[in-house]
Amino acid sequence: MRTQAELEIQWQLVDNQDAYRAALQQLAATHGPIAIDTERASGYRYFPNAYLVQIRRGHGPIYLFDPTALKDLSELGAIINSEMWILHSGRHDLPCLADLELVPQQLWDTELAARMLRAERVGLGALVADQLQVQLDKAYSDVDWSERPLQPSWLEYAAVDVLFLADLMVLQLLEAEKTAKLSILRQEFAALCAWQPKPPAEQPWRKVSHINVLVKDNRGLALVREIWTTRDEIARKADLAPHLVLPDSAIITAAQRRPRSEKDLQRIRGFNAVLAQPHLGAFWRAVMRGKRVDENLRRTPLPAGANSHGYFRKNSGAKARLETVRETVAAVAATLDIPAEHVLDPAVVKRLAADPPALLLPGETAAKLDSYGARQWQIAAVSAQLAAALAQQAEHGS
């Protein structure tokens, strides 16, 4: 097992127009897939922007593009967007890359492939260790990548993230061919290319940690909503992670204590912190707004459906179908040697159990799965088995 210190890692930081032009020229002249990764400032910044884009084409040089210095990477996109990309856990990188006009037409995701190929460990460092016998140093995964200048040790860490992606893809490609999963992987990767993040929650303030302690306290919920909204506005304007402005624990404490004055609010831990103190007046006004709220903020029953709270608990027929669908999918997954959640998405499983086809036949079941967004390989793998299992379950009434 080699260590990262034994490797001769070479990279070039691209943070000015001359370096950008030279990198574009080299990338255009080089052949092979595009290994690509990003570094964000999660936990430090409000917006999930890419603060570094790492690219290696084939076995060529590694370029570390600084979007904060270059501003416009559309010319880079013109060169690489039509090429095969290699990413690791691409769902984390694709949204911020799209913001830079970097959007792949085809890709290979080494993390997703590892899951589908039943690797024991699927993290990048683990895959490189297990398959290439190199131990990577992952010491800088949580640093603030929005800081400038970037430290050389950080840049080496970033460069390593694309160093071995092409080698991993080759090994996974061979394994996929050997296990007859290549066609399945291609469909999964095509779906990932078209994937879009979920839209923001309609009531994001309900995700405040430990809000469940206020589930029956309407006034407390109103205070949480108003303070959360104020914090979000402050954090967005300053491009700071909301918890750095004010922790969730302070919001919950304020909602429980019902401070009677701005001084009472200041005494609550968190509101007197460095980033919150300048906005104490705004937070106090939020508290006063919360005290005047009349609307009912307690959870009300949601419309019937698979995503409703407690739907399967309250609907015995749907609950029985859900168990049948899960058992059937698990059996198919075992036969294919693919994780059950990849054979059929859990959300699709619930939707089928809540709203099965009127006729429990393979064709009707396949059409229903298609309408729910299942891929063709998934439909072919499970539709007949699901139709038979649901028909049998309906016949026996259990």
Residue ranges of the chain whose pLDDT lies below 50: 301-303
What letter would DSSP give residue 87?
E
For residue 173, the model assigns a pLDDT of: 98
For residue 396, the model assigns a pLDDT of: 78
> Three-state DSSP class for 323?
helix
CATH architecture designation of domain 2-194: 2-Layer Sandwich (3.30)
CB atoms within 10 A of CB 300: 7
Domain ranges of the chain: 2-194, 204-291, 309-397
The residue with tokens 């080699």 is 2
Q: DSSP strand E in 99-195: where?
A: 106-109, 134-135
d(CA 182, CA 354): 32
Tell me the CATH number for domain 204-291: 1.10.150.80
Reference 318, options 306, 309, 307, 331; nearest CA is: 306
For residue 302, the model assigns a pLDDT of: 45
CA 226 to chain centroid: 27
- Asked if 204-291 and 309-397 have one fold, the answer is yes
Q: How many CA atoms lie within 13 A of 256 on its CB side?
A: 13
For residue 303, the model assigns a pLDDT of: 47
Four-way CATH pick for 309-397: 3.90.1170.50, 1.10.3720.10, 3.40.630.10, 1.10.150.80: 1.10.150.80
Indicate the pairing of strand 2-3 with strand 134-135.
parallel
d(CA 56, CA 293): 55
For residue 291, the model assigns a pLDDT of: 96
313: which residues sit within 8 A by CB, 6+ positions away?
Answer: 319
Task: Read off the pTM.
Answer: 0.91
For residue 259, the model assigns a pLDDT of: 97
Q: For 73-123, write each residue's pLDDT tens digit.
A: 999 999 999 999 999 999 999 999 999 999 999 999 999 999 999 999 999
Q: For 295-317, write each residue's pLDDT tens digit.
A: 999 875 444 566 665 788 888 88
Question: For residue 72, is it left (φ>0), alpha (ψ between -120 and 50) or beta?
Answer: beta
Q: Which helix (H) or strand (E) holds 3?
A: strand 2-3
205: which residues sit within 8 A by CB, 6+ positions away?
Answer: 224, 225, 228, 229
Reference 385, options 338, 354, 344, 345; nearest CA is: 344
The answer to whether the peptide bond before residue 149 is cis (omega within 30 degrees of 0) is: yes
